[in-house]
Structures are given as C-alpha cells and as structure tokens.
Structure 1
C-alpha cells in the first residue's frame, strides 16, 4: 500500500527532471522527463519501512531514511534530489508542495505552538543542541574571516564566501548608521564576527550576548586576537535578563537569532528590545523569514536541527514590533542570497566529509548535508527568504532618504580599521 501511495505522490510531483526509483522489492520506476535546469537523480530504497516513513511525513521520513542508509542516492546527490523535488512545485509560481499528510501538518503546527513558549531555561538548552556540539564543525565550512553562520550578501556574482560575508556585515552596519561614540548591543552574537567588525571599522563599544558556551569562549578569543577586547565584551545572558538590568544602547543588531525566539515570545522580544534601545536608537533585525502567511516548523528541523525554532512570516514579525511602537523604517527581502550561501556551505561540507565523519560519525554527516540541501531548496523554490528590518523608536532618528545606506556601505567596504583600534 505504501509503495503505491509513494508512486502516486512522485508521479504527481515530478514532471520536470527525472527521478529513477528502485523500491525495496526490487521494482523500478522512472518519474518525470528531462528538462533544462532540472537534474536527473537515481535513488534506491533498502527497506519498505523507509517508504512508509516518507508517506507519513515527507521531510522527516526522507531525512531519517537518508541518515540511516535506507534511502541511497545512486546518481546525483542529496542537493540535486532536494532541488528536483522542490523545484517542481515552486512556491511563487504555483501551489506549494505539501510537506507530508494532513495529520503530519497538524502535529507540526501543534508542536510549533508548544515549542514557541521557549522560556529562558529551554532556550539555552535548544541553543546548546545546535551550537554547543563544538566549534570544530563550524570552522570547517564557515567563512574564515568572520565565522558568519547566517545569510551572506552577494551584490556580485564572482564573490567568494568570505567576500560575501564581509559585504553582509557592511550592508548591516550601514543600515545602523553607526558612530564611534555609540554603545551597540549584538543579540545572538555567534562567534563575535559582527561585534568585532563594528568595533574595528567604526570604533564603537559593543556588547555581544549569546546562550552558547562554545560560541562565547571562541568569541572572546577572536576579539582578543583582533585587538578589540577593550571595546568588545561578550556575555552568556538571555536578552530577557539583560533587559531587566535596565541598560540602554544606541544601536541594537540581531543576526540569525530571531528564528530561535519562538512565536509565543515575539511580543516579549520586541518589548525588551524597545526597552534596551535609546529614544533615538536604531535596530537592525536580520532573520530568515517566510514569504507567505504564518506556518509551522517541519518535524525534521524541529527534531534534529533547531528545536524550539520557528521561521516567522513578515506579517507576524512587523505586527509584534508594532505592539512596542517600534517603527519599521526599512524592510529588505534578500530573496536568493541565502540559497547561494547554503550552496557554498554544502560544497565546503562535502569537501570536508572525512573530517566531519571523524568528529561526529557518518549518520551526523548525512543529517547535516540533508539539512543544508533541504534548506537550499526551500530558499530557491520554497517560501523561505531572508528579511532585514530596520527599526527606530523616533521617526526623526535617521535621514529622510535611504541614500546614506549605500554611501556608508561603500565607505565601510574600503575603510581601514578605526584609528582607536590596535592593529
């Protein structure tokens, strides 16, 4: 029965490109037709259980089958398989592909609501699940200069990942309208790349906060090595606890952290940000988003990658900020920039396969590249995107024209370290 249901599903989905499937009973089927820009992939199931899992929940079932060696890709790779499946049902041109059964979708939504509660103790545990597995993994595939585990910015096609991440930092810093005498808060500072960049290029004082002990230790090392330890400090603290201390900052930046907040905490997040921001302050929120209406976190991502995470729609993000009278002064959709970033990460991970397997095992490696491939397909053909939202509390805090952003961005890309910073 499950084999028949899977055949029907694939026959309906795969129209462009080719998917050859060898089922667990040895029978073979070919779905789709060759088409320009679409890959040809061959897969083999080693168990009927894997076929059943995929019927029940496409993403989780396929992910676990691939991780366990029950779904073997014999021609092409997992990136091409994900692109083939998602590319046949692009979100922006036709009805989106369903992620499994209606029952699975119901449970995804219910679990997303529960995860969205995400109180402080659970938030630290959820962050540790992804970021405290060790810095060794991330040094294998992130950019060497800034260790940015977030969407890069690709204004030119011929850029390296390192150049694109540098361009992203300049793009964000320009929108913040930074000055040397300002205090800056970096919420979810990662390994310190954004904070160190601001201190080196502008000379401002920066506090970076994280819930990851692994990130904290390396961020402090990197700040010391960059010669900015006197202007940048890092703390292991939740943004909610920081807000309770009563400090204020001229600028707030948050890159790739809002995805971990959880739906139920959106209003609290913006309320605390408003309290932390001075009256003339500026905030820049850089987050993965969904281009449609609010949705849910799929079971694979929730179980293996980002427990407690949720990708917000623009509508619910802006609405939550409105509750604290934060003015959305500028909104940019980086539509395909994350797809390019993910492809670079995937390429580097495959090159470093033996090192990753030696650190974490074959099953982890398969999980990781499945995650990167699925995310890439979601940004190329699904509903995922990246938003940069600039907030102000005072409508007069910034120039009337957006021209200052481009001008400042150009200056930052060519600027030397600030004179106050030791070289």
Structure 2
C-alpha cells in the first residue's frame, strides 16, 4: 500500500525534475515505479532510493543532489558527463540559477591559515592518488591539444612549452612560479632555457614531490621550491624577470584578487612579463555549492573582466589573451577516463563516498567547460612597456622540437 508520505514525495520529485533536462529520461522510484519525462526514447535513468528533504533541496539543489549521489541515495544510469550537460542546457534547471555576487559580505578576505587548510583539503590527499590519473608530469591544469591524437602527456607538454614560449624566456633570467604544483613547468623552464626558477606552494605533498624531482634532475643550482604564501612576496625583497601562475588564482578569493596582483606587481621587474592561466567566468557569480563545500573550499572563479580591470589599475599592459575552454573539457575527459581505469587501486585508498564525489566532480567539470559559462584563459601581461618583444604572435606557436621524456 502506498502511504500518503510517499505519494507526496513522488509529487515533489516530479515537480522538481520536470524542468531539469533537455533530454527525455526516466525516473525509477524507491518502490520500482517508473515515470518518463519527455517524448521518445529515454537517454538516461535516475534511480531514486531516497530523495533529499524539501528544505535542503530548495536551499541548495546542487549540494543536496550531489550529496544524495555521493551517499548512493540517487543513481545516475548513463554517461555522467552527458547527463550533467543535459541539465546545463535546460534554461530552467537549477544549474542555470547562478547568483551574482552583489554583497560585500559574501566577499570577505581569506586569511593565510584558511588558505593553508583549504589547499591541504584538496592537494594533500596524497601524491600516490594523483599519480594514478594525472599524466607523468603530474600537471593538474588544462592541457593544450595540438591535434586530436595527442595523448594527455603530449598535451600537457604542449601546454608547458606554450606557456614558456609566451614568456619569451632568455638564459640567465629569473622566473617565479606561483602555485607551482608538482613542479614540472619550473623544471622544464630550467632545463630548456637555463633560467633560475623559484616555485612556491602551500601544499606539503607537492613540495615533497618537487624537491624529489629537482634532485633527480640535478637542477639544485637552478630550481628552488618553498612553502610560501603569495601574500608574503611583496615584503620578501625578491625580484623576477618573469612570473607565471597556473591554476592558482582560483584559490585566492574575490576579495583578495587585488592583493594577489599587487604582490605580483611588487616582485616583477619593469618590462617583466606575467602569464596568468586560470579558470574564468563570464560574470562574477557564487561558486557552485557542491564544488565549494567538497572540492575547492574557499575557491572563487574570477571573471575575465575583473582580472583585466585590476591589472590595468596597477599599470599592466595586456599583450595576449587566449581561451582554452575546449582544451580543458578534453583534459577532464582524459582524467575521468584514467580515474575509472585505476578504480581497483583507488578503492584500496578511499571509500565509495569519496569515489562518487570525485567521479561527479570530474564529469561535471568536463560538462561545464563544454556547455556552461566557465572558460579558462591564458593572459599575458607586461609591467610597463616592453619594446623588445617580437612584433607578431608567431613566436608563441613555434613549438620546440625536442620534447623532454620524464625519467622513470
């Protein structure tokens, strides 16, 4: 016998899911009853064992549904990336209800201790985990696919050399890598261009791996890495000819963006180049609830216009802007495939909730770069006027003929 409560629950589910996707799909309820939304063949199924409470659902549907998926209360049967994309494409779905950041109270500065905790939450999960599904360089940012047949490793090497080309490096110069990750860009810069590199990070796990790589390559005289907050750069007294920051500005927070650029400006020599590579949004909006709570606490995706505005206020000249949106979609698809391909090993490290959380994160992000408003941009800035740069952009695309193969 169907109880009144379950009848009401089903009505809530149907009302919520009515405008969730632009594709035909089927819902299978907890009592095995099924209901089809749309006409024709179903493209996917939503199997519901337990549905979020109405209060949680309408307070933050993204978080509520993600938590239900992580707990196994909801199963999504079909290609996960395609399912999320179908939700993004429907103009009335909850994923298209981005809230503009209009109140200063939502944009409070992030302190150093909070930044350290937030970085550790994501990046100190363990080097062994990341090594399973990243490429051999352990580059955890958008790759650069020159051809449709590029492997993930080739595309990440393309990205590294593309960035180094844009920086127009010369032997003997100094380079600062803010948020250096596992250090491969810094090592490649030293090996190919004979520049002196300092990499800074807040991740102890990353620091350990970079130090191992520096020693392995015998580059102690050219590459140094340290645990350092970007807010300490201005008072450090250091000066650099070039600065690069890949996938780090997203961790700064909206309120701290001007401070971030101020510190870069303080340590960059006149006529120096700054290459900023990060995820951007079209408008200044709140971060998705699931991502901010479980994946990147403290994160904020800047808009391209606010970064350019802040840079201009400090006297930076914008030399070049390149969108890599579809490159990031392909990168995330590679990561998701490698993640699933190493599932036996990952299951020995983490529980099912963690695995489902990361599966959702990787596939949802791939969907977002394919169909949502997010992008990823490489912005090349110069401090003051630099009249020594090539007149055309061709130098940025003359890829080096010798590729470095990582040592085992």
2:5 corresponding residue in structure 1: none
RMSD: 2.4
User: Does the 8 Å CA contact 1:57/1:99 hold for their aligned counterparts?
Assistant: no
Counterpart pick for 2:135 among 143, 165, 168: 143
2:22 corresponding residue in structure 1: 15
Which digits, 9 at most, give the CA deviation of each residue in 1:344-381, with x for residues without a partner?
Answer: 00001111112112112111111111111111111111
Q: Does 1:308 align with 2:298?
A: yes
User: Does the 8 Å CA contact 1:286/1:389 hold for their aligned counterparts?
Assistant: yes
Which digits, 9 at most, give the CA deviation of each residue in 1:269-295, with x for residues without a partner?
Answer: 1111011100021010000111x2111
Distance 1:67 1:111 in 2: 32
Q: Does 1:63 align with 2:50?
A: no
Residues 101, 267 of structure 1: alpha-carbon distance in 2 compared, 3 angstrom cutoff: closer
Matches within 5 A, 1:84-103: 84-86=86-88, 88-89=89-90, 95=91, 97-99=93-95
2:78 corresponding residue in structure 1: 76
Distance 1:110 1:378 in 2: 25
Which digits, 9 at most, give the CA deviation of each residue in 1:137-180, with x for residues without a partner?
Answer: 10010011x11000001121111000000000111111100111
Q: Does 1:283 align with 2:283?
A: no
Residue range with higher mean Cα deviation, 254-263 or 356-365 = 356-365
User: Does the 8 Å CA contact 2:51/2:74 hold for their aligned counterparts?
Assistant: no
User: Does the 8 Å CA contact 1:3/1:51 hold for their aligned counterparts?
Assistant: no
TM-score, reference length from structure 1:
0.88
Q: CA deviation at 1:45?
A: 0.9
Which structure 2 segments of 5+ residues have no match?
1-7
Residues 169, 330 of structure 1: alpha-carbon distance in 2 compared, 3 angstrom cutoff: same
User: Does the 8 Å CA contact 2:62/2:94 hold for their aligned counterparts?
Assistant: no
1:159 corresponding residue in structure 2: 150
Q: CA deviation at 1:404?
A: 2.0
Matches within 5 A, 1:215-364: 215-290=206-281, 292-364=282-354
Residue range with higher mean Cα deviation, 317-326 or 204-213 = 317-326
Which digits, 9 at most, give the CA deviation of each residue in 1:71-123, with x for residues without a partner?
Answer: 023x324333223322x33xxxxx57443879xx58x9879925x51122211
User: Does the 8 Å CA contact 2:318/2:382 hold for their aligned counterparts?
Assistant: yes
The size of the alignment, in residue pairs, is: 397
Distance 2:376 2:188 in 1: 21
Residue range with higher mean Cα deviation, 23-32 or 350-359 = 23-32
Distance 2:37 2:128 in 1: 40
Q: Secondary structure at the match of 1:63?
A: helix
Residues 51, 155 of structure 1: alpha-carbon distance in 2 compared, 3 angstrom cutoff: farther
Distance 2:94 2:209 in 1: 40
